[in-house]
Structure formats: C-alpha cells, structure tokens
C-alpha cells in the first residue's frame, strides 16, 4: 500500500519538480541553490553549533541539545528512508537531471531540509535576530533540493513538519 501511494505521488510530483527546475533555470539562480545545498550538507551546522557553544558558554547547554536533535534527525531520516525506499526524482525519471550528487540513495524525507528546519528554529529561539539569516537559508535549502532534482515537494514538506516537531521537543528539553 505504501509503495502504491509513493508511486502515485511520484507521478504527480514529477511535474512539480520539472516546473521548479524550469522556474529556476537562470544559471546564477542555479549556482546559488547548489551553493546553499552544499552549505546544508552538515559542515555549516557543525560550525554554527560548536561556535555557539564556544562563543556563548553561558548557553552551551543549547548547543548540546541542538547536537542531540541533529543526531536524532540523522537516525530518524535514515530509518524512514530505508522504510519508504522512495527513489529520487532524478533516479526515477530519466528526463529529470540532478544538478549535484546526492549524499544517499533515497529521497523521503529530505535530510537537508530536516536539519535546516530543526537547527534554524532552535538557533532563532536562542538568538532571535538570526531569523533574518536562518529563515531564508532554511527556505532556500528546501527549494534547492527540489530544483536540483533530488527531492519531491512532499519530501521537503515532510521534513519541515518533522523538523519542527524535533525542534519543539528539543526546546522542551531546554525549558526543563
């Protein structure tokens, strides 16, 4: 039943992926989105979390909880990906080409978007002024994954929902 649902979604959403690719066909936009996606590979988040812990020792517990949420996200999205086995649009549809290499094989949910959502919410809660940088960055990460042919819109939407839930859970741990 899950496989049938995924097949139906793939068929419907492949047109959306193609539309997103066409809308962002400008070479400068594509370069920006590839750069944003690469920045979301993980290194940026590690630097931000470690930097937060080193530069704001009074709030170092936040960095620890954010890191734990990141490890939880990693475990959760790998588990979900291996349960759903949803091929990436660029793998399933030969007419959709990926703009950059994927870090793993399956698409659901988007790990980049999951981490960007969780970390952005948590860091913006601690540093509200960061919203002007982190919110646009998180949105661009989600958009980039679709435009690059690596994810369907539902992959990034599910990742936003899960990431929000994980962030709320993490914030609850800090509040205790």
Question: What is the set of domains in the chain, with CATH numbers?
Answer: 2-175 (1.20.144.10)
Burial of 126 (0-12, 13-18, 19+ CB in 10 A): middle
Encode pLDDT of 38-68 as tens digits: 888 888 888 888 888 888 877 788 888 988 9
DSSP label of 88 = P
Position 106 scores a pLDDT of 87
- In this predicted model, what pLDDT tens digit does every residue of 114-133 receive, in sequence order? 999 999 999 999 889 999 99
- Alpha-helical regions (H) of 85-152: 89-92, 111-126, 131-147
pLDDT at 164: 97
What does pTM read for this prediction?
0.87
Q: Which residues, other chains included, contact 122 with Cβ-Cβ below 8 Å and sequence gap of 6+?
A: 62, 65, 66, 69, 167, 170, 171
Query: CB count, 10 Å around CB of 168?
Result: 13
Could you give the CA distance from residue 23 to residue 25 in angstroms, rounded to a whole number? 6
Q: Which residue bears the tokens 């205790």?
A: 176
In contact, 83 and 132? CB cutoff 8 Å: no
Looking at per-residue pLDDT, the higher value among 92 and 83 belongs to: 83
- The pLDDT confidence band at residue 101, using thresholds 50, 70 and 90, is low
How far is Cα 72 from Cα 75, in angstroms, rounded to an integer? 5
């Amino acid at each position: 039943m899950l496989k049938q649902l995924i097949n139906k979604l793939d068929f419907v959403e492949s047109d959306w992926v193609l539309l997103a690719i066409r809308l962002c066909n400008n070479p400068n936009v594509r370069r920006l989105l590839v750069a944003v996606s690469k920045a979301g590979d993980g290194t940026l988040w590690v630097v931000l979390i470690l930097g937060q812990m080193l530069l704001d020792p009074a709030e170092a517990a936040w960095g620890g909880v954010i890191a734990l949420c990141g490890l939880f996200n990693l475990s959760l999205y790998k588990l979900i990906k291996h349960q759903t086995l949803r091929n990436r649009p660029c793998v399933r549809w030969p007419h959709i080409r990926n703009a950059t290499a994927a870090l793993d094989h399956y698409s659901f949910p988007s790990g980049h978007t999951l981490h960007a959502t969780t970390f952005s919410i948590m860091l913006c809660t601690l540093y509200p002024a960061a919203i002007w940088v982190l919110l646009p960055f998180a949105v661009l990460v989600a958009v980039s994954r679709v435009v690059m042919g690596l994810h369907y819109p539902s992959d990034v939407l599910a990742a936003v929902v899960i990431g929000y839930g994980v962030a709320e859970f993490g914030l609850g741990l800090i509040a205790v």
